[in-house]
Amino acid sequence: MKHLLSMADLGADGIEEILRVTDSFVEVTARDIPRVPALRGKTIVSLFYEESTRTRLSFETAARRLSADVMTFSVGSSSVQKGESLKDTVETIQAMGMDAVVVRHASAGVPWQVSQWVDASVVNAGDGWHEHPTQALLDAYTIRERLGSLEGRRIAIVGDIKHSRVARSNVLGFHALGAEVTLVAPPTLLPPSLEGWPCEVTTDLDALLPKLDVIYVLRMQRERMTEAVLPSLREYTSRYGLTARRAANLPDGALVMHPGPMNRGVEIAAEVADAPGTVITRQVANGVAVRMAVLFLLLGSGASIV
Amino acid sequence: MVDATGTRRADVAVRDGVIIEVTDSIEAQGREFDATGCVVAPGLVDLHTHLREPGREEAETVETGSRAAALGGYTAVVAMPNTEPAIDSAAVVRQVLELGRKALVDVRVAGAITVGRAGQQLAPLGEMADLGVRLFTDDGAGVQDARLMRRALEYARGLGVVLAQHCEDESLAAGGHMHEGEWSSRLGIPGIPSEAEELMVARDVALCRLTGAPVHFLHLSTAVSVDLVREAKAAGLPVTAEAAPHHFTLTHESVSAYDTRFKVNPPLRTRADVAAVKVGLADGTIDAIATDHAPHSQEAKEAPFDQAPPGMLGLETALALALTELELPVQQVLALLSWQPARIAGLQGEHGGPVAAGHPANLCVFDADETWTVDRAQLASRSRNTPFDGRALRGRVRHTISGGEAVVVDGVAQR
């Protein structure tokens, strides 16, 4: 594996391998000193054109726990503000020496472009509406940790699918691991075409709830109200929000997931977010181990995990 | 030799910019050009060229664009008015025509319909028409306001000029960067639905009926657009249409690796749309192949997909793409590339043939069977944004004679 750009590139075997390696790093992160020398001497750059403290911290923590050197490129206070092009920025960083670059950008496809311009490995940490593969990996890991396997599991992804890189990566990842995925959203929040998507789609969340093993709730962004895709947040909540009443219709043991940050009271009720079936903090914890696994598999050729 | 009158075998003699003799065999006096195994045709005419001058000379100039045109077999191009400043006044028209005097081919100008192409106020169409402008468009954008477009058409009818529309309903297309459908959904790129184009084609067919003024539809890209134009023609309305080579050769799937060279407006659409454009070209619904040659610097195209400017080169590959992809007789391909666009641009008599004594010596000589591979490093355009790099094509220009001057000889530009 040279880059991690899309879940589509991994396939079931690739995903399984990353999840297997993640097991080892979950063990490492539970140690008193959660650090291994696997990537000593390697330099990993985090290049976040779109602020995301959670994802950036998760990657940087993962890199440090592997003993890699971490460079943080902060777009807000850099030459980018002075009009430097994406390519020039990337080539400048490359010239300083790096082994991997973790890229987050508001435009779909930027990690692909960066991978054309540099010799280093590129990790997609979220590109526009397109993909967020490490999120999908940590989600799959979390489900497997709780339910044993994704094979045959019924998973609903609810909310703003159209603008969601998390949904795109998760549909591919969950399907590859054998789950049956259903998208639940008003048509204005669905992609214009679902041709080729390995999933079902419905607008009736209530009918689906009793059959689910996992309900994956997406963040509802307030900006959408100005784009005439929804009349109001209240109307969204009444039809698609995971309220306490709806959560009560889930089977026992069903998981409630969310990529964060949550809008409590909009897509998920506060009491549901804090209930025992909710594995949101577990997702965050597993995120570090999954990202360690990804960086290790990209850069750790020959090294043992220890 | 192939022109609108037919196909025959003959020699051609040219003197002082005029064809003086076309007969079976002419004893050469002066310079002789070998056309063995080649088609000798009227020079090609491009209705849709972005020469970028004034304002964007880093991407193209009248000189470099005209050299690319000559190498592509063109003897006339119509320069689009979306320059900086826009060609929306007699002064800018004069400036571009002046630059064109030194060019390798005949450079004509399309004027803007509205001031600054802003869609608010009618540009001085009459003053520009007095300088010979025959085609007007806000290309790059469509005239959004139906009432303004109606008035523009009425006014244009009085001048005997043609309005050409870039059909795109901005409210529906807003924010889009590729064709809306399977690939935009998968790639997470905001889409432009086909209906954004079709709405305006339908509206302007209606306005054509209302005003009786001719309308030329630029770069049709969807099956429904082709149908709308076909129905309008059947109803006897004075409409004409063009299609760009990339719209009969490439689909939205090309965008799958986020290569910005495949970003263009109107966007690359589906296989069914490509097939419909081909049918439209074959059955006469679409009158012309126009390149929409749109040079952009490497720097501009090396941006994220949703920030890169739309557009691709076309002049040096159009003839070969038509010969390779259309499966039409050579004469029909030339009708689409030469005499039909010449008529739409008001250039009949000057360009588009016939190849006969007394007519201007604007000629294109090409080998319809020679195969070659597009190499973007070898292009004459100042820019490199061709989506056809590395593609093997059939049909290569050997000589171009523009106004009696051999501007391309054996595939090499002479200046």
A303 pLDDT tier (thresholds 50, 70, 90)? confident
Chain B residues close to A191, C-beta within 8 Å: 184-186
Query: pLDDT per residue over A98-116, tens digit each?
Result: 999 999 999 999 999 999 9
DSSP helix/strand/coil, A254: coil
Sign of CA dihedral A291, A295, A301, A304: negative
> Which run of H or E residues covers position B372?
strand B363-373
Least Cα distance to B104 among B402, B338, B314, B380 occurs for: B402
CATH number, residue A114: 3.40.50.1370
Alpha helices in B170-297 (DSSP H): 170-173, 182-187, 194-211, 223-234, 271-283
Mean pLDDT (chain A) is 94
Planar angle of CA A158, A287, A168, nearest 5 degrees: 35
User: Are residues A51 and A179 located together in one domain of the fold?
Assistant: no
Q: In angstroms, rounded to a whole number, what is the distance separating the alpha carbons of residues B177 and B168?
A: 13
How far apart (Å, rounded) are the C-alpha atoms in residues A262 and A272? 11
Separation between Cα atoms, residue A199 and residue B73, nearest integer Å: 51
Q: Is-contact B46 B71, C-beta < 8 A?
A: no
pLDDT (0 to 100) of residue B289: 98
Q: Which domain holds residue B37?
A: 2-413
Residue A161 sits in the same domain as residue A274: yes
Taking Cα atoms as reference points, which of A157, A192, A195, A150 lies closest to residue A175?
A150
pLDDT of residue B28: 84
Residue B20 contacts residue B14 (beta carbons within 8 Å): yes
Mean pLDDT on B277-290: 98
Residue A305 counted as domain residue: no
Whether residue A77 has pLDDT greater than 70: no
Q: For residue B284, what is the domain's CATH number? A: 3.20.20.140
How far is the C-alpha of A134 from the C-alpha of A139, rounded, in Å?
8
For the residues B359-374, what does the mean pLDDT come to?
98
Q: How confident is the model at residue B65 (pLDDT cuts 50, 70, 90)?
A: very high
Residue B119 to chain A, least CA–CA distance (Å): 24
Instruction: Calculate the average pLDDT of chain B.
Output: 97
Ramachandran quadrant class, A225 (left: phi over 0; alpha: psi -120 to 50; beta: rest): alpha
**Best CA proximity match to B363, nearest among B412, B321, B397, B331:** B397
Q: Is B182–A196 a contact, with Cβ atoms under 8 angstroms apart?
A: yes
Do A293 and A225 fall within a single domain?
A: no
Residue A225 pLDDT exceeds 80: no
Burial of B37 (0-12, 13-18, 19+ CB in 10 A): exposed
Q: How far, in Å, are A10, A83, A106, B210, B309 from residue A89 at the CA level?
A: 28, 10, 16, 54, 20
Mean pLDDT of the A237-254 span: 97
Express each pLDDT in B135-160 by its tens digit.
999 999 999 999 999 999 999 999 99
Does B304 lie at the interface with A, CB-CB under 8 angstroms? yes
The string of DSSP letters for B81-128 reads S-SSS-S-SHHHHHHHHHHHTTSSSEEEEEEPSBGGG-SSSB--HHHH
Q: How deeply is B237 buried, as exposed, middle or buried, from its count of CB atoms within 10 A (0-12, 13-18, 19+)?
A: middle
Average pLDDT, integer, range B216-221: 98
Please spell the DSSP secondary structure of A15-65, one letter per residue: HHHHHHHHHHHHHHHTSSS----TTTT-EEEEEESS--HHHHHHHHHHHHH
Q: Could you list the residue range(s) of the whole structural domain that residue A44 is in?
A: 7-131+284-299
Number of domains in chain B: 1
Chain A hits for B179, CB-CB cut-off 8 Å, are none
Summarize the confidence of residues A225-230 as an average pLDDT: 81
Chain B residues with CB inside 8 Å of A128's CB? 188-189, 306
Closest CA in chain A for residue B182: A193
Q: Per the CB < 8 Å rule, is B305 touching A107?
A: yes
Residues A193 and A270 in one domain: yes
Catalytic residue among B292, B369, B389, B410: B292
The per-residue pLDDT for range A137-188, each reduced to its tens digit, is 999 999 999 999 999 999 999 999 999 999 999 999 999 999 999 999 999 9
Does one domain contain both A181 and A272? yes
What's B212's DSSP letter? -
- Residue B94, classified by CB atoms within 10 Å of its CB into exposed (0-12), middle (13-18) or buried (19+), is middle
Looking at residues B254-272, what average pLDDT do you find? 97
Q: What is the pLDDT of residue A306?
A: 64
Q: Is B292 a catalytic residue?
A: yes
pLDDT digits (tens, 9 = 90+) for B329-345: 999 999 999 999 999 99
- What pLDDT digit, counting tens, does each position of A168-178 carry? 999 999 999 99
The predicted pLDDT at position A78 comes to 65
Return the DSSP state at A194.
Answer: -
Sequence-ordered list of residues with C-beta below 8 angstroms from that of A155, at least 6 positions apart, any chain: A143, A174, A179, A180, A181, A182, A212, A213, A214, A215, A216
For residue B213, the surrounding DSSP H or E stretch is: none
- Check: CB of residue B107 under 8 Å from CB of residue B133: no
The CA distance from A59 to A296, in Å, is: 12
User: Which pLDDT score is estimated for A106?
Assistant: 94
Cα-to-chain-centroid distance, residue B357: 28
Number of domain units in chain A: 2
Q: What is the pLDDT of residues A24-65, one digit of tens each?
A: 999 999 999 999 999 999 999 999 998 888 999 999 999 999
Q: Is residue A150 located within the same domain as residue A277?
A: yes
Report the distance separating Cα A88 and Cα A109, nearest Å.
17
pLDDT at A61: 97
Domain annotation covers residue A304: no
A95 and A143 in a single domain? The answer is: no
Distance from CA of A130 to the nearest CA of B (A): 4
A129: nearest CA partner in chain B = B188
A107 & A174 share domain = no
Residues A162 and A289 in one domain: no
Q: A191 — phi, psi (to 5°)?
A: -60, 150
Predicted local confidence at residue B254, as pLDDT: 98
Q: Are residues A273 and A157 in the same domain?
A: yes
Q: Is A69 exposed, middle or buried (CB count within 10 Å of its CB: 0-12, 13-18, 19+)? A: middle
Calpha distance B249→B264 (Å, rounded): 13
Question: Are A186 and A257 in the same domain?
Answer: yes
Closest to A220 (Cα-Cα) out of A232, A206, A210, A205: A232
* Distance from C-alpha of B229 to C-alpha of B142, rounded to nearest angstrom: 17
CA dihedral angle for residue B8, residue B10, residue B15, residue B20, rounded to 10 degrees: -70
pLDDT of residue B40: 98
Calculate what percentage of chain B has a pLDDT beyond 90.
100
Instruction: Judge if A154 and A254 occupy the same domain.
Output: yes
